[in-house]
Chains A and B, each alone.
Chain A
Amino acid sequence: MYESRKYIIGSLMAVMALIISLRLLYVQIITNEYREAAEMNSRRKVVQYPSRGLIFDRNGKLLVSNQAVYDIMIVPKEVKAFDSTEFCQTVGIDIETLRQLFGDIKTQIRRRRASIHKPVVFLRQLSGERYAMLQEKLYKMSGFYAQRRTLRKYEYRAAANVLGYVGEASESYIKKHPYYANGDYVGISGIESSYEEYLRGRKGVNYLMVDVLGRTKGELYEGKYDTAAISGQDLTLSLDIDLQMYGEKLMQGKTGSIVAIRPQTGEILAMVSAPSYDPSLLVGRDRSKYFPILTNDPNKPLFNRAIQAWYPPGSTFKTLNALIGLDEGTVTPETRYGCAHGYTVGKFHMGCHGHASPLNLRQSIQHSCNGYYGHEFRDLIDNKKFKNVKEGLDTWKDHLVKFGLGYKLGVDIANENRGFIPNSAYYDKTMGPNWTSLGVVSLSIGQGEILLTPIQLANVAATIANKGWFITPHIVHKIEGAQTDSLYRYPRQTGIDTAYFSVVKDGMELAVWGTDGGTARVAQIPGIRVCGKTGTAQNPHGKDHSIFMCFAPKENTEIAVSVFVENAGFGATWAAPIASLMIEKYINGSVDPKRKYLEDRIIAMRTIQDTNGAKDKKDPKKEAAKGNERGNDTGAAKQPSSPTGGASTPAGGIEGEETAEDIEPESEAEIEPEPAPAMSPTPTENPIETEENVQ
């Protein structure tokens, strides 16, 4: 009875088994959905951040090292309720901030800039001490974990402009450079930027298995696909940190720059830009606080004047005009030109100060005679050997380009400016095609349209010391495990005969040591044969800029220096003593007590007006000002670096700062071939009749 029903029951079982098998076929073979979800479930990619390369000075002193901080990461999906009060206390934030942090994450997820499945930075840069406390509690917090990061640590409060700073890579930068991911750090200015590829090292990746609570359960695939992080390469700078700090001390309260180069090698020994700032201010979370303050500071501490500011070189430029004239044969060392308190052609008058006349070439440098160079320069570019004045000017320009002027020198510090040397086409445009040598005669004394950066002037000094060649100035002396660029190892020739350099060197020596007077006698250092040339750059908006270019000793030169002090007056008054103190400090290791008065006078001198006393010490702005030590963020009614006739901090330069923030330093480099400087004076606009202008 009913035996056939066994078939029904058996079929029921078989059908059920078939249904299960088909479902398994779908889940395990046909769809990928679950396999992919499993990957997400169990795998976590942990980036191993390498520590950035260390930076040492030329004597092996550690300048920049690293400090560990911890980013607290969350995987939003995995976050469950946790003791928020305890968390806030441990990491030192209030509950409002915590809410805001979660709100930010939600916004990011809504805007699809973060995924609920992927780790996202929740709290940035927790200090090591705070992290140690948090670590014990982290296991209780589902979905949280810490990611070790390293931040820069500065051992000296100096050389901020050289070292630059590090910040998070912007989105536009990441798009261009696929190595970087959101939250990665990248060098933004200074050598942090220009040596980024060496300093950054190589990120590593660990694939970890994590369980449902986000706890690490060992390495995935036994670490087969992991890559180790490779630390960044260390850099040894040619910078002498003691000299650098001494230079920054001398420049405190002033605006300007000092560049010191070792002529034989092109190594930069010191590069001071004043005012500057404490590099520690731009580290980590402080960066967002101080960066806007420094950016808005009217004295522009972030602006690296040594390579970004451009000034008319003033009388220091006479040395170059002499060399070009000698090389072109339009002047000889014994050529004499008369000077009757200046250079006068018809109504045109270019003033000079009282000195014996007529002078030969050496003496013209010694006394910085304007009249001499008015004649010399016009004789040069109007010379019959040239088809016309235009060819003469372009020949003159070509010589200057070989000195590294008018174009970027190629310094290994980011955001260098190119300066400006006008050519005939430029004057055709600005003055019409029929301009004459008289119209551009202010070029003879380094005024007018010519603009040099301080590093270019220091390089001119080095080139004269070397008698005709230079190695591109650079700050990185050694890269761990790599060679420096060949640009920094081979000399560049100016093409001018060494014999002519001897003449100019004699003149520069006389300027310092001349017994019958010299413009730079203040630069004398007992026992060191200093050669120098003063300069003063016109600044119709305020006091003139004080300039000095020098090197020492005369033979086997060890150091070449350029000094610019904005709004300080004659070159001899401020720039020359500063340069001489730098030389003395470098060569002798210390300053003679007899010259201590000079040092004190320099340090005490301020061109930046401190009108706003310390009213509120807790004001972050004030802290920033303290941080930059020499700076002052308020009260400076006039822009010390306002361009006309003075130090141009042209739009390009300031933008350079902003683009640096966007990490697009290259964009700033694309200046059109022959730019008009932001505001370049023409002789007619800028009368230069006063005697003072000539020093």
Chain B
Amino acid sequence: MFSNIGVSNSYRKGVDWLTVILYILLVAFGWSNLYAANYNPEVGLQFSLSSEYFKQLMWIGVSAVFAGIIMLSDSKLFVEAAWPIYGASLVLLTLVLLIGKEVYGAKSWLAIGPIQFQPAEFTKIGAALVISRLMSRYGFRFDIKQYATLAAVILVPVGYILLQNDTGSALVYFVFLLPMFREGLTPHILLLGTLCLVGAIAALLLGTWIAMLSLLVLSVVALQVVMSRQGHSKTALIAIIIGAVVGGGLTLANIFLLGSRYPVEFPVLIGLAVVSVYLIVMVIVHRLRNIWLFLLYVWVGVGTSFAAGFVFEHVLIEHQRTRINVLFGIEDDPLGAGYNVNQSMIAIGSGGLLGKGFLSGTQTKLNFVPKQTTDFIFCTVGEEWGFIGSLALVGTYLFFFLRLIHLAEQQHSVFSRVYGYCVACVFFFHFTINICMTIGLMPVIGIPLPFFSYGGSSLWGFSVMLFIFLKLDTDRNFLIR
């Protein structure tokens, strides 16, 4: 579907101007919204050197300089410099932990003289380069050693960033699973991840017990399918009966004999354990296939829904809990934890079809929306440009992502391809989390919208990341190692 997007000539040299134009469009529209968010109708047009929109204009200029330098450099440099860049960014992260500055509860800023920046924005580049480097090695395949190396490359910065108390930025690193998936990572990791998410959400929304039961019913169906394919539907039936008898019996015993001394989940877990043991025995006896995987899925699903409640109550801290509760509509607190999202949705919703027009928003002008120039910059788009403008923005982003994937697929060298996917997926992740947060689809996770949110670090980080790929793309016909 995306090989048709744009004019593609795999043998063309030079920079991919379509992507550059998309980048310029996004940056320009981003800046105009930043200006609108800062526009004060009482004062009117004003240009002050200390204003956010002027500073952002300077950051844009600096980004252009960075882009030029990158375009003038050598593609091979980025392959060679992958580890040094990664290492350097880890050093910066260490420095942040030692001498960093705390903003909004996250200690993620480094101040060198008058310049302040967030090293985490640059660590992404280092990680992307290293991942590309690792996976582009000759004879690369996903074995235990490579899994371990890749996991380490990802988890070390995640650990650092979690220590900085910046959960949002840490989550971004999990998006590197997508480029890996493209390169042959087993889909089970992504599927299990999704299952964890579904299990946890179901547990929070419906209660652990119901979530677990629903998952077990699905498992019963899956087991029947898996076993009957191998001519062992009888075994499956026996397993199900064992499970039902043990689980059901213990549940009844717990309720009527023991007066519900144990949580309702326990008999279910015991029943599942007995069935698992039976199935493992059968696997060994009959050399059945796919049962290990089946058991993995069932235990992960049931386990997460069981664990979700525990984690929610004992691991998450207060504001994270309320954010999740508000998101799922369990709590209604428009003045407290839900305030940001509520005000954000009011601003976006008030835009209607056509929006209120450039500089005419009221919600974003009057400071109803907190962090309206950084995390909630999309509110200005929604309010002033309406549904049409928002749709155009979403469309442009989608086109931009698909264009990057398309370019990545054109690359002769694996390094460039993996890196291209990394760039596209990081942008996609930021875009999704940020916009979903402003329209109440996801909990409030403070990460910037690429090219829109105010801030030099993120703009530079995203620009440098993109232009490294555009530089690599100019050498798409060469094998870069």
Contact = CB atoms under 8 A, between A and B. Distances in A.
Contacts of B183: 2
B394 A35 contact: no
B150 to A, nearest CB: 16
B2 A10 contact: yes
A399 B348 CA distance: 78
A7 B1 contact: yes
B405 interface: yes
A77 B368 CA distance: 14
Contacts of B435: 20
A586 B161 CA distance: 95
A390 B425 CA distance: 109
B366 A35 contact: no
Contacts of A13: 398, 401-402, 405, 428
Interface in A602-643: none
Interface stretch (A26-34, A430-438, A550-558): A26-34
A20 B441 contact: yes
Interface in A1-21: 1-3, 5-10, 12-14, 16-17, 19-21
A9 B350 contact: no
B350 A34 contact: yes
B409 interface: yes
Nearest to A78: B335
A9 B363 contact: no
A39 to B, nearest CB: 8
A29 B362 contact: no
Contacts of A65: none
Of A37, A77, A211, A213, the most chain B CB neighbours within 10 A belong to: A37
A564 to B, nearest CB: 65
B6 interface: no
Contacts of A14: 398, 402
Contacts of A2: 182-184
Contact of B366 (A17, A39, A77, A210): A210
A19 B397 CA distance: 14
A41 interface: yes
Interface string B381-417: 0100011001100110110011001000100000000
Interface string B360-372: 0011011110000
A10 B402 contact: yes
Interface string B334-374: 01000000110111111111000000001101111000000
A6 B347 contact: no
Contact of B346 (A7, A12, A34): A34
Nearest to B439: A23
Determine chain A's interface SS by DSSP, over half rule.
helix
A37 B338 CA distance: 14
B178 interface: yes
B116 interface: no
A209 B40 CA distance: 12
A24 B41 contact: no
Nearest to B339: A212
A676 to B, nearest CB: 65
A386 to B, nearest CB: 82
Interface residues of B, number: 49
B2 A27 contact: no
Given A24-B394, A209-B366, A5 B386 contact: no
A309 B441 CA distance: 75
Nearest to B387: A28
Contact of A17 (B2, B350, B387, B398): B398
A113 B376 CA distance: 36
A218 interface: yes
B142 to A, nearest CB: 11
Nearest to B40: A217
A362 to B, nearest CB: 84
B428 to A, nearest CB: 5
Contact of B382 (A28, A39, A77, A213): A28
Contacts of A16: 428, 432
A56 B184 CA distance: 96
Contacts of A217: 41-42, 365-366
Contacts of A213: 367
A499 interface: no
A24 B351 CA distance: 10
A487 interface: no
A580 B391 CA distance: 91
B347 A5 contact: no
Contacts of B460: none
B391 A218 contact: no
B23 interface: no
A42 interface: yes
B428 A19 contact: no
Contacts of B439: 20, 23-24, 27
B436 interface: yes
A528 interface: no
A393 B315 CA distance: 101
A542 to B, nearest CB: 68
B182 A38 contact: no
Interface in B1-40: 1-2
A7 B1 CA distance: 7
Interface in A209-263: 209-213, 217-218, 220
A38 B362 contact: yes
A316 B410 CA distance: 120
A218 B441 contact: no
B367 A34 contact: no
B405 A9 contact: yes
A72 B42 CA distance: 26
A34 B349 contact: yes
A16 B436 CA distance: 9
A211 B42 CA distance: 12
A525 B255 CA distance: 111
A17 B352 contact: no
Contacts of A218: 41-42
B181 interface: yes
Contacts of A42: 362-363, 366, 368
B421 interface: yes
B387 A25 contact: yes
Given A29-B387, A34-B350, A41-B346, A6 B366 contact: no
Contacts of A39: 350
A75 to B, nearest CB: 13
Contact of B351 (A3, A8, A21, A28): A28
Given A17-B398, A28-B390, A211 B368 contact: yes
A31 B349 contact: yes
Nearest to A2: B184
Nearest to B348: A27
Contacts of B366: 41-42, 209-212, 217
A209 B391 CA distance: 28
7 contacts: A10-B402, A12-B178, A13-B402, A23-B441, A27-B439, A37-B349, A39-B350
Interface of A: 1-3, 5-10, 12-14, 16-17, 19-21, 23-25, 27-29, 31, 33-35, 37-39, 41-42, 77, 209-213, 217-218, 220
Given A12-B178, A28-B386, 17 more contacts: A2-B182, A6-B2, A6-B409, A10-B405, A13-B402, A14-B398, A20-B435, A23-B439, A24-B382, A27-B349, A27-B440, A28-B351, A28-B387, A38-B347, A38-B349, A209-B366, A212-B366
Closest 10 CB pairs of A and B: A34-B349, A38-B350, A211-B366, A28-B387, A17-B398, A42-B362, A37-B346, A212-B368, A27-B349, A34-B346
